[in-house]
Structure 1
Amino acid sequence: MATNESPIPGDPPLRTGWGWIVAYGVLVILIGVLALTNPIATGLATGIILALVLIVYGVAAIASAISSLSRRGRWIELILGILALLAGASILFAPLLGALSLVWAIGFWLVVSGVMQLVTAARFPVDRWWRLFLGLLDLVLGAILLLSGPVPSLAFLAIIVGISFLFRGLFLVLLGLGLRKVSTSTAA
């Protein structure tokens, strides 16, 4: 069989694109390293992404409110769209504050989640130890985010993002190399 020829006669050639996947994985790993080594840049990027998401949501909500298909909740959509646009625009002017507000929202959510896990563990014996562990973990992580200063909380966010990107990039590199192995074995 020729290189990249399909093992099934009549099928199109097997093209895995493994090189692109490996390159993408390496790029994701580099972003993860950047996130771990420069928490301020990570916080800035997080703030900008949050601002862009709010702006896109705001435009979509306003368009929905103006459309003829929207009868119920028209004013609510319009108000929410305007608020999202204002919030997104203000975060664009101070992206680190936007990232901090996101960090604090996650911290608050973790504290509430931890309390709910602990209450559930106290009331029900099923999975009690796992719920206790998860509840305490959520409480500690939430407290770290809520009680630490701006720089440490952004650093914690950068560590989470960096680790996630490192493992995601490693997965992509291994996937690409696995696809390379598959494509070369079918070529033999």
Structure 2
Amino acid sequence: MSEARAKWGWFVALGILFACLGFGAVSDLLLATVATIFYIGALITVAGVFQIIHALGVKSWRGFLLWGLGGLFYAAAGTTIILDPAIASLALTLVLAVFTVASGFMRLLLSFKARRDRSWGWLFASGLLTAIAGLAFLLGWPLNSLWLLGLLLSIDLIFQGCTLIGLGLQLRNT
């Protein structure tokens, strides 16, 4: 902990950088969405290439062909995302909306099972808000796929930045 305390300024600096990137992303949500799509596509492509390389390194395994095909499909999916970010944005936004609704409903169900617990209301509120957000995402689809992923990236960067700034300042004061 003393090492982290000594580096409190780096936490604050990184937090300021993240917050600035988040506010920059909020200023152009379409560009932030495209950047998010390209980032996801690049990660999937790289993972696929490494899986293919791994498969070539274990040719003696019985599942070599399946490992190689899995990597090939992964790399193809990533390349497709990069080559057609508009379709990828549509698909990813729809998947995000469906999973958000499902997550909200799961939390609602869990809250009903936990009604005897004192803090079950927090779980219920979380589930309700998540389900409502997911339904809003679904109702806005496909138009929101131009900006929603960028907005989520922006919000995450801003919250991460604020968290790091707060952590750094707390470390300084302890």
**Alignment TM-score > 0.5, same fold:** yes
Q: CA deviation at 1:113?
A: 1.9
Q: Report matched runs for 1:26-175 at 5 Å.
A: 26-68=16-58, 71-123=61-113, 125-127=115-117, 128-175=120-167
Report the CA distance shift for 1:151/1:34 in structure 2 as closer, same or farther (over 3 A).
farther
Offset, 1:48: 0.7
Q: Tell me the matched-pair count.
A: 171
Using structure 1 for the length normalisation, give the TM-score: 0.71
> What is the aligned-residue RMSD (CA, Å)?
3.3
| Range that drifts further, 159-168 or 146-155 | 146-155
Cα distance in structure 2, aligned partners of 1:123 and 1:21 = 40
Distance 1:146 1:152 in 2: 9
Mapped partners of 1:78, 1:119: distance in 2: 41
In structure 2, C-alpha distance between the alignment counterparts of 1:43 and 1:168, rounded to whole Å: 18
Percent identical: 32
Change (3 A) 1:82 1:114: same
Tell me how far apart the structure 1 counterparts of residues 110 and 16 of structure 2 sit (CA, whole Å): 42
CA distance in 2, matches of 1:124, 1:166: 33
TM-score (norm 2): 0.76
Largest Rg, 1 or 2: 1
Greater CA drift, 112-121 or 39-48: 112-121
Unaligned runs of 5+ in 2: none
CA 1:179/1:110 → structure 2, altered by over 3 Å: closer, same or farther?
closer
Residue 161 of structure 1: how far off its partner (Å)? 2.2
What's the offset of the Cα at 1:102?
A: 2.4
Deviations 1:123-149, CA, capped at 9 Å, x for gaps: 553455344333322221212222213
What is the SS of the residue equivalent to 2:147? helix
Q: Deviations over 1:62-105 (max 9, x none)?
A: 12222227725433322221111111111111224323322222
Aligned residues of 1:50 and 1:99 also touching (Cα < 8 A): no
